[in-house]
């Protein structure tokens, strides 16, 4: 579905921004309505996705894990895109929009670093200035991606405020946008923030699910999978995967959030399964917050899931009963990571490992001999330092 004119999916969404941000938000809304649907924009976007990003990405059936589970596990291989994740789909679109709006500068926030890399990549291709805000904690644990952004010509700003993670990077990026709105477009990386960002990012990412739907049908006599599964932080890869399947009610939509360590009272990022309704960073959605409305710290072993909010359309799909949201702890996500490495020769991002890990743990909740498509949102090169630190603490090689 599309949001209302004021940006609501049911009771979720909207524009909760200071008056100083309304001019660029409304300017962007007009650009989304007038520029994005235009023949020229769409032709250039399709060409870039094909020739630069490398779309369509593969749909791959995992032969070994499928045999282990007694069902068919398919991966939508967004890890094979240029830059190694789904983020480039959105960034190419927003970079083209930035240029067509006549703005020379893009800013972005990033947690896992993949959105920052993708923004820096698209900006370099189109000759735009690029500044990426990143929490200081994430700068340290994603140092490989920081080096990539800098190599691509971006300025990376380490944010020292708050928990020094993704939410704090977004706060600082919003302040930059207020100060430099005439020359700057804020390239949000997920289906979060004030309208029109949740719709804009979803529409650029919807290519994931549309391709998966067509590819699966072509290889399965026109049929549909029994379920599609994706990790959920802010929710862009999941929303991109789910969108084409929403009208097909026989297909289960399963989003997997991060449960942190899984111990009672631990920090986590399970916003939809454990959060409550509130307003955060420009949008009404589900949040991790205290009884008096203060934002709780979030945590995940996967930096890209470490966020205390979620996209409003996900909250709507949950409330409408169309999508299911579950959570998985760090250890089980690592099990997904190592299993995909050892059984299929694919190194997944720790974010995607949550989706893989949930399927590995729950084959009994899926039809025997059925078909499950997981969005493999990115590759795991960026996470090797995190994994090595975990292995060093555990004194082993992983199971």
Cα separation, 43 vs 397, in Å, equals 48
Token pair listed for 98:
């930035």
Contact 360, 331 (CB under 8 A): no
Q: Which of 78, 74, 76 is nearest to 61 (CA)?
A: 74
Q: Where are the alpha helices (DSSP H) in 54-135?
A: 63-69, 87-100, 114-126
Q: Is 341 a catalytic residue?
A: no
Q: Which residue is catalytic, options 82, 86, 268, 354? A: 86
Point out which residues pair with 85 in neighbouring strands. Answer: 378
Could you identify the residue written with the tokens 């969005």?
375
Q: Which residue is catalytic, options 62, 91, 327, 375? A: 62
Secondary structure E strands in the chain: 8-9, 12-13, 59-61, 72-77, 105-110, 129-135, 155-159, 184-186, 227-231, 252-258, 276-280, 283-287, 323-328, 371-376
Instruction: Determine whether 246 is exposed, middle or buried from the number of CB atoms within 10 Å of its CB (0-12, 13-18, 19+).
Output: middle
Token pair listed for 119:
């923004």
Q: Is 144 a catalytic residue?
A: no
Q: Which residues are marked as active site?
A: 62, 86
């Amino acid at each position: 579905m599309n949001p209302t004119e004021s940006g609501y999916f049911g009771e979720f969404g909207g524009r909760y921004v200071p008056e100083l941000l309304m001019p660029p938000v409304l300017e962007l809304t007009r650009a989304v309505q007038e520029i994005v649907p235009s023949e020229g924009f769409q032709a250039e976007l399709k060409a870039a996705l094909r020739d630069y990003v490398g779309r369509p990405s593969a749909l791959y059936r995992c032969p070994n894990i499928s045999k282990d589970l007694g069902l068919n596990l398919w991966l939508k291989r967004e890890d094979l895109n240029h830059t190694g994740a789904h983020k480039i789909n959105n960034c190419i679109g927003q970079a083209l929009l930035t240029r067509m709006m006549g703005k020379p500068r893009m800013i972005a926030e990033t947690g896992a670093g993949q959105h920052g890399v993708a923004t820096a990549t698209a900006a370099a291709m189109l000759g735009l200035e690029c500044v990426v805000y990143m929490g200081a904690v994430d700068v340290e644990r994603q140092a490989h991606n920081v080096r990539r952004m800098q190599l691509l010509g971006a300025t990376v700003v380490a944010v020292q405020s708050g928990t020094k993670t993704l939410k704090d990077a977004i706060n600082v990026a919003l302040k930059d946008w207020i100060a430099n709105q005439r020359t700057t477009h804020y390239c949000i990386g997920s289906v979060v923030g004030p309208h029109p960002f949740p719709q804009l990012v979803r529409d650029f990412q919807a290519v994931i699910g549309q391709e998966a739907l067509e590819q699966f049908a072509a290889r399965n006599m026109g049929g549909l999978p029994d379920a599609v599964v994706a990790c959920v932080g802010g929710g862009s890869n999941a929303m991109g995967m789910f969108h084409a399947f929403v009208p097909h009610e026989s297909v289960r939509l399963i989003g997997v959030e991060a449960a942190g360590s899984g111990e009672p009272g631990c920090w986590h990022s399970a916003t939809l399964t454990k959060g409550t309704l509130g307003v955060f960073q420009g949008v009404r959605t589900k949040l991790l917050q205290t009884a008096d409305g203060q934002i709780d710290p979030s945590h995940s072993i996967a930096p890209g899931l470490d966020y205390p909010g979620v996209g409003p359309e996900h909250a709507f799909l949950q409330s409408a009963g169309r999508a299911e949201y579950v959570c998985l702890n760090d250890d089980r996500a690592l099990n997904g990571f190592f299993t995909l490495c050892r059984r299929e020769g694919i190194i997944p991002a720790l974010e995607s490992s949550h989706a893989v890990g949930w399927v590995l743990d729950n084959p009994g909740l899926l039809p025997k001999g059925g078909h499950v498509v997981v969005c493999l949102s990115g590759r795991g090169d960026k996470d090797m330092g995190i994994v090595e630190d975990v292995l060093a603490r555990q004194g082993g090689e992983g199971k």
